[in-house]
Amino acid sequence: MNNKKEKPSKSDKGKVEEPSTAFKTVRVFSSFEEAAEFEAKQSAGLSYHERLKHVEKLRKQVFHQYLKKDGTWPPISKSFQIMKPHPYDPG
């Protein structure tokens, strides 16, 4: 696929495209309890995959310093080091 922007041709000169904008609904609540109840109902209605998507989004926000530059996670290192017990360890 070529991601370069093409120059509009003469036939496209009079065409107008709709802007790609995401619209969100704004809700106003009379109390914090009402807002919390609404959020709880919305969260309960999410599918398993939507919940995982939200968890991954939050995980990336919290641990962003560990992500690669392209936004993916580095591979997990599976190395163990066996150490001798401390001489003062009673167990």
Question: How would residue 88 be classed by pLDDT, with cut points 50, 70 and 90?
Answer: confident
Per-residue confidence (pLDDT) for residue 80, from 0 to 100: 76
User: Per-residue pLDDT tens for 5-63?
Assistant: 566 566 666 677 766 677 788 889 999 999 999 999 988 998 999 999 999 999 999 98
Of 3 and 81, more confident: 81
User: Could you state, in order of their start, the residue ranges of all structural domains in the chain?
Assistant: 27-68
Per-residue confidence (pLDDT) for residue 34, from 0 to 100: 95
Helix (H) or strand (E) holding 56: helix 48-62
CA distance linking residue 72 with residue 60, whole number of Å: 9
Per-residue confidence (pLDDT) for residue 4, from 0 to 100: 57
